[in-house]
A and B are shown apart, each in its own frame.
Chain A
Amino acid sequence: MTVKLENGNILLAGICPADDAEPLLRLVLNNRRAIVDWRACDEAHTAVIQILLAAKPELLGPPANPFLNRRIAPLIGDRRSGAHSSD
């Protein structure tokens, strides 16, 4: 499973396919304050990213994937990663 709840944090790990979107949305809905830890996320499908864009959860990064770090993180508001760190 590439999406799971661990110690109150939502973890995104490895390659997250489109099918992860629905469980991710459920986790976010049930744990409104949960931090999404995507440090181990190698790849995320658009459907997954769309959930993050809509929910704008607090992120724990930077994600392993440079595209996510550089292009997506700033749009969600992750201050610990994003355009200024190298990719």
Chain B
Amino acid sequence: MNEFLAQFLVESRELVEHATDDLLALEQVPDDRARLDSAFRGFHTLKGAAGIVEFTAMGRAVHAAEDLLEAVRSGEQPVTADLVSNCLACLDQVVRWLDAIDAEGALPIDAEAAAARLVARLASPAGPSLADARAASAAEDPDPPWAGRLRADTAGVVGARIAIRYTPSADCFFRGEDPLGLMSRLPGLLALEIRPLQPWPPLEELDPFAANLVIDALSSASSKEVADHLRPVSDQVRIYALRQDDDPVFPDRAAKVLKAQLALLSAPRGQEMAGRWASAGRVAANVLRHLGMEAEAAVIDAALARSLAAGDPAALLAALEATVNAAPAAAPREGGDDPGRIPSSPQDAIARALRVDIDRIDAIVNLTGELTVVKNALGHAAERARQGTDPEGLAQVLKQQHALLDRLTAELQRSVLAIRVLPLGHLFRRFSRPVRELARTLGKTLRLVIEGETTEADKAVVEALFEPLMHVLRNAVGHGVETAEQRRASGKPETAVIQLRGRRQGEHVVVEVADDGRGIDVVDVRRAAAARHLATTEALAALSDDAVVDLIFAPGFSTVGAVTDVSGRGVGMDAVRSAIERLGGRVAVKSRAGEGTTVRFVLPFTVMMTRVMTVEAAGQVFGVPFDAIVETLQLARDGIVAIGAAEAFVLRGRTVPLISLARALDADTTIATPSVANIVVIETGGQLAALEVDRFGERLDVMLKPMDGLLGGTTLVAGTTLLGDGRVLIVLDPLELLQ
């Protein structure tokens, strides 16, 4: 990828991020002029960036959104949820393009259709004044939005060039006009939609002599032919020339390919059919995917599987037919329109490039300078040592330099670690979109309030927090917060508030998700816990309410009967707790019935990752810190000699004491010793030693958690960590092991 493109990617992602923030804030406070201007500038800059890399399709799409925001700035348009959704859809598309560029290393070649779709969508929503103004401005004149709808509503309409809106005047029947008769003879008529201009009155009050219709039509004829045909009623007709490059349902080629698959499937059956269905199904699914119709592709895939299982193409044929014919309902969606699904946030992909505050880099540069000074001083000291005249003074100098070096290396380490520190805002920002979409899907009115986004935490912590936090937020929106009606009924403000807060507390970072919803029903939790045999009824009765609420973290617990799309995908709060504990953190919940629920994460500021090697001894898995391991080897039993009660072997001329790990841990050692010993050589405190183990395991980076509480006094163990599968791994302390 060339340098411009790489820079374009980084910049554009940031612009998208900021513009998303601005738009969401604007939706909350529509008259926030600063946010509006900032969003507008964001789109404007994106357009400029697209221009620099000559990505014209993106430039056009972004330009349309910029126009829309310009209309808001000039007061022509109000800020509506739809307007915000449309602008966000534009940003989503930009992110898809950026991802494509990232993957391909070049501009996407099929961006035109998507851009045209966006431009159509962003064209002012039926605002006649603006539409007229645009019609006058010729070249860049976007299609009227209803034309797109009409096309999308009419399957298989290909080649529409003209859209017509005919609003017959009420007295037209008296003038001998027959609007539908005229339209029935319209050259190249492709689609027709008739609606009442005013809602139909009760039949008793219907005036049979007054026209009350709006007629929308698409035609494949030229605008001149259409205009000539409609000349007698030109005062009641508006004619739009449509863009040619976009067919919102299927581009021509895609439709052809899909139809060919249909024909193939409908052909008489023969021996080789199963293979042909499979490839037809796959081709169709791929075409749909290419068009961004992921859901439809999945339907085809499922149908193909059914067909293959049943040895009958009927299921696939039906699914494909339904897709091709019912395409309008399945027209490619811009992200966020699909109810029930939480659109992935633009920044879901882990940021590959890290933007670092220049001050931090400067600090490191300064440290490097100071290190150079120490280096020179040491060179000087070496010279003095060679002369050997003043050992006392030399020792003094060395001691000083060592102290200096000590300070500098510690500082360097801190500075380098600081590069990995990210503000939580980075993470928090990613939730605004999904929460908003989810609330819209569920019809709940809520506000996500973010606090403490400048609180910093290690990059590893920030990144690992996304999943668990998303889960908790989903729960809060889905279950915690009530609907507006329920809230009104219980005397709360209709708009629920979910707070996402971050703050530093000593060496810990605290992240809280607090909602003002209905709270966790303790009775329900008790009942569910009993039903799932998490504890006996008596034990449950003895638990305090807080302890009962804590049961939601128990594995296998969920109070939701039905699995919904919102949450309850089989991973519950227990997954959240184990994810947080893997980071060396804690999670707790507080809830008051009717007042809300607060889930609090307490995390270490930095994640100290320790690399360990796992070994097996006496049927158990242990971790050995990698730093301590010198090498691993296999040694024939006769190379091991007994020295008193202990054993040893000779390694490269050095006698190394050997400890059987199983025996050291007082495990059962009656198992026959193998003829070849697996040995881990470790070095600790300048001493070599070796551990005999049953088996070598794998290398892992783990977050080590020191033993505390009852086990605090345990020797031999450096700490524990949770393995990916939830098992506890005990990491040995080599130093203590050798004592």
Using a CB–CB cutoff of 8 Å, the interface residues on chain A facing chain B are 18, 21-22, 24-25, 28-29, 43, 45-47, 49-51, 53-55, 67, 71-72, 75
Residue of B178, B192, B193, B206 touching A46 (CB-CB under 8 A) = B178
A-B residue pairs in contact (CB < 8 Å), sample of 11: A21-B209, A28-B203, A45-B180, A45-B181, A46-B178, A47-B173, A49-B194, A51-B208, A54-B200, A54-B203, A72-B180
Cα–Cα, bound, A85→B192 (Å): 17
Q: Which A residues lie within 8 Å of B212 (CB)? A: 50, 54
B668 within 8 A of partner (CB): no
Cα–Cα, bound, A54→B198 (Å): 11
Q: Are A75 and B209 in contact (CB under 8 A)?
A: no
User: What is the distance, in angstroms, from B229's C-beta to the closest C-beta of chain A?
Assistant: 15
Give the bracket for the number of chain B residues in contact with chain A: 20 to 34
User: What is the distance, in angstroms, from B688's C-beta to the closest C-beta of chain A?
Assistant: 86
B63-105 interface mask toward A, CB cutoff 8 Å, 1 = contact, 0 = none? 0000000000000000000000000000000000000000000
Q: Are B181 and A47 in contact (CB under 8 A)?
A: no
Q: Which 3 residue pairs spanning A and B have beta carbons closest together?
A: A21-B208, A67-B184, A46-B180
Besides the known contacts A53-B194, A75-B193, 14 further A-B residue pairs in the complex with CB atoms under 8 A apart: A18-B173, A18-B178, A21-B173, A45-B178, A46-B179, A47-B208, A47-B209, A49-B180, A49-B194, A53-B213, A54-B212, A67-B180, A72-B180, A75-B194
Cα–Cα, bound, A50→B213 (Å): 8
Q: Are A29 and B180 in contact (CB under 8 A)?
A: no
B204 within 8 A of partner (CB): yes
Q: Which A residues lie within 8 Å of B623 (CB)? A: none
Q: Which A residues lie within 8 Å of B196 (CB)? A: 53-54
Q: Across the interface, name the chain A residue whose C-beta is closest to B156.
A: A83
Q: Are A46 and B203 in contact (CB under 8 A)?
A: no
B211 within 8 A of partner (CB): yes
From B173, B180, B206, B213, residue with most partner A Cβ within 10 Å = B180
Cα–Cα, bound, A72→B183 (Å): 12
Q: Which B residues lie within 8 Å of A22 (CB)? A: 208-209
Interface residues of B in 196-230 (CB under 8 A from A): 196, 200, 203-204, 206, 208-209, 211-213
B168 within 8 A of partner (CB): yes
Using a CB–CB cutoff of 8 Å, the interface residues on chain B facing chain A are 168, 173, 177-181, 184, 192-194, 196, 200, 203-204, 206, 208-209, 211-213
Q: Which B residues lie within 8 Å of A71 (CB)? A: 184, 192
Q: Are B179 and A54 in contact (CB under 8 A)?
A: no
Q: Are B206 and A54 in contact (CB under 8 A)?
A: yes
From B196, B208, B211, residue with most partner A Cβ within 10 Å = B208
Contacts A29-B203, A54-B200: A47 and B211 contacting too (C-beta < 8 A)? yes
Q: Across the interface, name the chain A residue whose C-beta is closest to B212.
A: A50
Cα–Cα, bound, A47→B168 (Å): 11
From A28, A50, A51, residue with most partner B Cβ within 10 Å = A50
Q: Across the interface, name the chain A residue whose C-beta is closest to B182.
A: A46
Q: Which A residues lie within 8 Å of B168 (CB)? A: 46
User: What is the distance, in angstroms, from B715's C-beta to the closest C-beta of chain A?
Assistant: 82
Cα–Cα, bound, A46→B184 (Å): 11
User: What is the distance, in angstroms, from B413's C-beta to the closest C-beta of chain A?
Assistant: 73
Chain A binding surface SS class: helix
Q: Across the interface, name the chain A residue whose C-beta is closest to B177.
A: A46
User: What is the distance, in angstroms, from A33's C-beta to the closest C-beta of chain B?
Assistant: 13
From A24, A49, A55, residue with most partner B Cβ within 10 Å = A49
Cα–Cα, bound, A47→B178 (Å): 8
Q: Which B residues lie within 8 Å of A45 (CB)? A: 173, 178, 180-181
Q: Across the interface, name the chain B residue whose C-beta is closest to A68.
A: B184
Q: Across the interface, name the chain B residue whose C-beta is closest to A44.
A: B180
Q: Which A residues lie within 8 Å of B206 (CB)? A: 25, 51, 54
Q: Which A residues lie within 8 Å of B179 (CB)? A: 46
Q: Which A residues lie within 8 Å of B173 (CB)? A: 18, 21, 45-47
Q: Which B residues lie within 8 Å of A50 (CB)? A: 208, 211-213
User: What is the distance, in angstroms, from A36's C-beta to the closest C-beta of chain B?
Assistant: 13
Q: Across the interface, name the chain A residue whose C-beta is closest to B168.
A: A46
Q: Which A residues lie within 8 Å of B181 (CB)? A: 43, 45-46
Residue of A18, A24, A29, A46 touching B213 (CB-CB under 8 A) = A46
User: What is the distance, in angstroms, from A34's C-beta to the closest C-beta of chain B?
Assistant: 13
Q: Which B residues lie within 8 Å of A53 (CB)? A: 194, 196, 200, 213
Q: Which B residues lie within 8 Å of A29 (CB)? A: 203-204
User: What is the distance, in angstroms, from A11's C-beta to the closest C-beta of chain B?
Assistant: 18
Q: Across the interface, name the chain A residue whose C-beta is closest to B154.
A: A83
Cα–Cα, bound, A53→B168 (Å): 15
Q: Which A residues lie within 8 Å of B180 (CB)? A: 45-46, 49, 67, 72
User: What is the distance, in angstroms, from B188's C-beta to the closest C-beta of chain A?
Assistant: 14
Q: Which A residues lie within 8 Å of B213 (CB)? A: 46, 50, 53
Q: Which A residues lie within 8 Å of B193 (CB)? A: 75
Q: Across the interface, name the chain B residue whose C-beta is closest to A20.
A: B208
Cα–Cα, bound, A22→B207 (Å): 8
Cα–Cα, bound, A28→B203 (Å): 9
Cα–Cα, bound, A46→B177 (Å): 9
Q: Which B residues lie within 8 Å of A25 (CB)? A: 203, 206, 208
Q: Which B residues lie within 8 Å of A21 (CB)? A: 173, 208-209
Q: Across the interface, name the chain B residue whose C-beta is closest to A49.
A: B180
Q: Across the interface, name the chain A residue whose C-beta is closest to B204.
A: A29
Q: Across the interface, name the chain B residue whose C-beta is closest to A75.
A: B194
Cα–Cα, bound, A51→B210 (Å): 11
Q: Which B residues lie within 8 Å of A55 (CB)? A: 203
Q: Which A residues lie within 8 Å of B203 (CB)? A: 25, 28-29, 54-55
From A18, A22, A46, A51, residue with most partner B Cβ within 10 Å = A46
Q: Which A residues lie within 8 Å of B200 (CB)? A: 53-54
Q: Across the interface, name the chain B residue whose C-beta is closest to A50.
A: B213
Q: Across the interface, name the chain B residue whose C-beta is closest to A45.
A: B178
Q: Across the interface, name the chain B residue whose C-beta is closest to A76.
A: B194
User: What is the distance, in angstroms, from B181's C-beta to the closest C-beta of chain A?
Assistant: 7
User: What is the distance, in angstroms, from B192's C-beta to the closest C-beta of chain A?
Assistant: 5
Q: Across the interface, name the chain B residue whose C-beta is closest to A25.
A: B208
Cα–Cα, bound, A71→B184 (Å): 9
Cα–Cα, bound, A43→B181 (Å): 8
Cα–Cα, bound, A28→B196 (Å): 19
From B168, B179, B204, residue with most partner A Cβ within 10 Å = B179
Q: Across the interface, name the chain B residue whose C-beta is closest to A47.
A: B173
Q: Which B residues lie within 8 Å of A75 (CB)? A: 193-194
Cα–Cα, bound, A12→B208 (Å): 16
User: What is the distance, in angstroms, from B233's C-beta to the closest C-beta of chain A?
Assistant: 11
User: What is the distance, in angstroms, from B327's C-beta to the closest C-beta of chain A?
Assistant: 14
Cα–Cα, bound, A45→B211 (Å): 11
Cα–Cα, bound, A43→B185 (Å): 12
From B177, B184, B204, residue with most partner A Cβ within 10 Å = B184
User: What is the distance, in angstroms, from B167's C-beta to the closest C-beta of chain A?
Assistant: 13
Cα–Cα, bound, A68→B177 (Å): 18
User: What is the distance, in angstroms, from A62's C-beta to the closest C-beta of chain B?
Assistant: 15
Cα–Cα, bound, A55→B204 (Å): 10
Q: Are A46 and B211 in contact (CB under 8 A)?
A: yes
